[in-house]
Amino acid sequence: MILWLLFAAMTGAAILAVLWPLSRRPRSARGGSDLLVYKDQLAEIDRDRAAGLIGEAEAEAARLEVSRRLLAAADSEKPEEAVPAATVAAVPGGLWRRRAAAVAALIILPLGPAGLYLALGSPAIPGQSAFARVDTPVGPASMADLVSKVEAHLARHPNDGSGWEVLAPVYMRLGRYDDAVVARRKALALNGESGAREADLGEALAAAAGGVVTVEAKTTFERAVADDPHEPKAHYFLGLAAEQDGKPEEAAAIWRALVAQAPPDAPWLDFVRKALAQAIGTSIGQAEPGPSAAEVANASTLSDEQRADMVHGMVARLADRLHTDGGDIEGWLRLVRAYVVLGDRDKARDAASDARRALADHPEEIKRIDDLVKGLGLEG
């Protein structure tokens, strides 16, 4: 509504700008005031001559000049006096042209822009603020349109590496994993090898295989780590590969190292910690007799809180066993790591002290405990 009011005001101003000069009468001559001035000047010349202020020759020259100006002023007044307004309006073509210009301004100025807007604009679209347009979520249809446009662009420019880089994560989000693999391969080939691009390709390969880290995917992640030893995604999937191969302790070791070197605000840190806790629980369940292995087998059906309770229970059982029979060095190492993963570093230090006392006759095994304590930053 405000836009239409603005258009109306602008149109009115344009019409006024055209009609105003057309409505004005021709400017008349300066009138009789000039005649009076020149007559006074002639009288003043005569007075100056009579008083002897100027000579006869100078007075005659001045009379001629003022007389010339007087005649010119009188001639300019004659058309105004002799030709009335009705006669001016009756001049052929004068008034008609004025009226034609006025009618054209009244018709063309409002209707011209309106016609152009109806032809080229979008009057059927309801008005929206800029914030409303930005905040409107992109729906499936618009996402599909965007993907189609990018695909059409890449069909014309298949060597646009940045285009493949942009399209690949969209394919992943849409669940088009095979297409994501193709896009990741293109981006890697066109933009150059890097740890991040290798890890992205491995992720797409694992997703296309239903979440299984295949041999090809594992090789890709190993290349990523070789190129960038601190690439977190590659380390996570290498741990997942070890877990899928039935090596939970190896998976836990990989994820433990990943957690240790992670920035405290890393967005994936909690996710890796949960995977690490599950791997430790699986490892403990395999080492402990009784129903704990069955609990671990059903861990995938539990909630996060239930899984945490299950892990706490298994760690408590392991601690009880080691305090009864403390000669198991591997058990002590698992217990110290488990407490660190669970966030209880004081219990981890206490477990290390208990291990040293239980293994007092085995200095080599105590050294392993000390190395673990140092590696986990439990000293002091």
Q: What is the mean pLDDT of the chain?
A: 74
Residue the block writes with tokens 């002290």: 353
What pLDDT is stored for residue 150 in this prediction?
Answer: 85
How many other β-carbons are positioned within 10 Å of the β-carbon of residue 285?
Answer: 24
Burial class (CB in 10 A: 0-12, 13-18, 19+), 154: middle
- Provide the CATH number for the domain formed by 248-380 in this structure: 1.25.40
Architecture of domain 140-245: Alpha Horseshoe (1.25)
Q: What is the pLDDT of residues 180-230, one digit of tens each?
A: 999 999 999 999 999 999 999 999 999 888 787 888 999 999 999 999 999
């198991």: which residue's tokens? Answer: 328
The type of residue at 139 is G
Q: How many CB atoms lie within 10 A of CB 27?
A: 7
Question: Residue 203: what pLDDT?
Answer: 94
Under the banding of pLDDT at 50, 70 and 90, the label for residue 86 is very low
Q: Which pLDDT value is given to residue 126? A: 47
pLDDT at 178: 92
Domain boundaries, the chain: 2-120, 140-245, 248-380
Please give the structure tokens belonging to residue 373. Answer: 């304590």
Query: For residues 173 and 177, what is the distance between their CA atoms, to the nearest angstrom?
Result: 9
Is the separation of the CB atoms in 333 and 369 below 8 Å? yes
Radius of gyration of the chain, Cα coordinates, nearest whole angstrom: 48
Identify whether the C-beta of residue 206 lies closer than 8 Å to the C-beta of residue 212. Answer: yes
| pLDDT recorded at residue 122 | 52
Give the number of other Cβ atoms within 10 Å of residue 291's Cβ.
9
DSSP 3-state of 128: coil
Task: In whole angstroms, give the CA distance from residue 361 to residue 326.
Answer: 12
70-to-27, 65, 66, 74, 207 alpha-carbon distances in Å: 20, 9, 6, 6, 104
Give the per-residue pLDDT at 82. 44
The dihedral built from the CA positions of residue 288, 293, 295 and 297, taken in this order, carries a sign that is: positive
What is the pTM for the complete model shown? Answer: 0.44
**φ, ψ dihedrals at 310, nearest 5°:** -65, -45
Q: Which of 21-30, 99-108, 188-197, 265-274 has the lowest mean pLDDT?
A: 21-30
E strand spans, the chain: none
User: What is the per-residue pLDDT across 162-174, written as a single tens digit (0 to 9) for each?
Assistant: 889 988 999 998 8
Contacting residues for 27 by C-beta, under 8 A, at least 6 apart: none
pLDDT reading at 113 higher than 60? yes
pLDDT at 33: 58
Mean pLDDT of 75-94: 48
The C-alpha angle 184, 190, 191, rounded to 5 degrees, equals 85
Residue 213 contacts residue 206 (beta carbons within 8 Å): yes
Per-residue pLDDT at 156 exceeds 80: yes
Instruction: Check for a shared fold between 140-245 and 248-380.
Output: yes
